[in-house]
Structure 1
Amino acid sequence: MSDQSAWQLTSEAAKAPPPREADVVDAVRALGWSGVALPEISLVGCRLVPVVDLDVDAHNLREASGHGPQLDADTLAVWEWPESAGMAPPPALRLSGVLFRARRGWRRALREARSWRGFGPAAVLVPAGAFTDEVCRLEFAVYGIGLVPSDPAGEGPALRADDPVGAAVLPELGRSARGRRRTADRWVEETLYRHAHDHGFYPSV
């Protein structure tokens, strides 16, 4: 995905009800990701739950200087120039990982998760039946995508400490080996910054 196409795609709150908070919190804990889970959002053509580390100090600095969330492509490109280091407003959060739900089958969710590996770790919450499918587990392992089994009753991840098969499959850390920092990363950060800000995740200055 090119930088140009990334920032041209608009983000909006998902129309369907978001996953249960406990469901997401348990999955994030099982995956070992730091930070907080933001409300589900539709971003770059995918419905996902972003997990981010908030930088409150950077947020306070930006609030004081009047630099709120910025989505202008040209401005973000300038901010990412090496020459702008130390002068551009700092990111107010860092992407820890993205969590997807296998609403339309695990293969579709896997494709969406793979498209996000250029930004950071990705994982999918799948039905318990799919989680024990050897083909499913193998494909997720090949692409470095995390896998968390969901309770069939919809009450959260079906994780059992005494059952190795019931434990989450951890994703690869960081972005994919071929991924590199680009303007699209800042666009994602700024979009999630606005999303977090709109939902009251930052304290008032």
Structure 2
Amino acid sequence: MQPLLHHAATALGWQGIVVPDVAVLGHQVSAVVRVRTDVHEWRSANGWPPHADPSWFRSWFEPNAHDRLPVAAVDLVGVLVGESTVDRALQSCGTLMTLAPCSVVLPAPQGSSWPLIELDYYGIGVVSVDGAGAAELLVPPEDRSTEFGPSLFGRWLLEVLYERVLKGVPHQAGVTT
């Protein structure tokens, strides 16, 4: 599945590292992230490893902890969701599109069983990828994250993704910036 995700990210024009199999709000998704090299170097030099522990995240809600939040070392370029039905795709992307552009990755070919206009209405992208890796952008995603603004959950997700990148994101070659 991972090569198909890379083809989908390329079709979307999303440059970065594909982080597969991320559990987010009860859904398994993949994320495309870009490492902020300057922040990563600073965090490494100053002892700020990723803080993906949910208990640490809960402490962020305390106002006196706000001065101890690390600067995000990755940017979330977009979210890739593999779903088999429109309802599940809308459910999976519904909350995630508040964080970054979200696209559904479908196996090709797709017939008229997918109402692309409904996904397009909500700003959800659609990419079709065949077994050979040929990807076709059917509906470009919209970035609606600016309508919602930043959230502590989104910030915590960046820590989770940063940790996955540093652990090597199953055999990624290097860090793409």
Query: Do they superpose with TM above 0.5?
Result: yes
Q: Is the 8 A contact 2:34 2:76 kept in 1?
A: yes
Unaligned runs of 5+ in 2: none
What's the Cα RMSD here?
Answer: 2.5
User: 2:137 matched to 1:156?
Assistant: no
Q: Is the 8 A contact 1:80 1:183 kept in 2?
A: no
Q: Supply the distance in 1 between the matched residues of 2:153 and 2:50 (Cα, whole angstroms).
A: 14
- Normalised TM-score (structure 1): 0.71
Unaligned runs of 5+ in 1: 1-18, 160-166
The residue that corresponds to 2:46 in the other structure is 65
Instruction: Compute the displacement of 1:199 (Å).
Output: 1.6
The residue that corresponds to 1:10 in the other structure is none
Structure having the higher Rg: 1
- Normalised TM-score (structure 2): 0.81
User: Which residue identity is paired with 2:90?
Assistant: L
Match of 1:190 among 156, 159, 174: 159
Match of 1:125 among 90, 93, 105: 105
Give the paired residue count. Answer: 168
Say which structure is richer in strand: 2
Q: Supply the distance in 2 between the matched residues of 1:20 and 1:64 (Cα, whole angstroms).
A: 32
Identity %: 28
Q: Supply the distance in 2 between the matched residues of 1:79 and 1:100 (Cα, whole angstroms).
A: 36
Q: Is the 8 A contact 1:148 1:157 kept in 2?
A: no
Greater relative contact order, per chain length (Cα 8 Å cut-off, separation 6+): 2
Match of 2:126 among 147, 153, 166: 147
Q: Supply the distance in 2 between the matched residues of 1:136 and 1:35 (Cα, whole angstroms).
A: 29
C-alpha distance 115-88 of structure 1, shift in aligned 2 (>3 A): closer
User: Which residue identity is paired with 1:20?
Assistant: Q
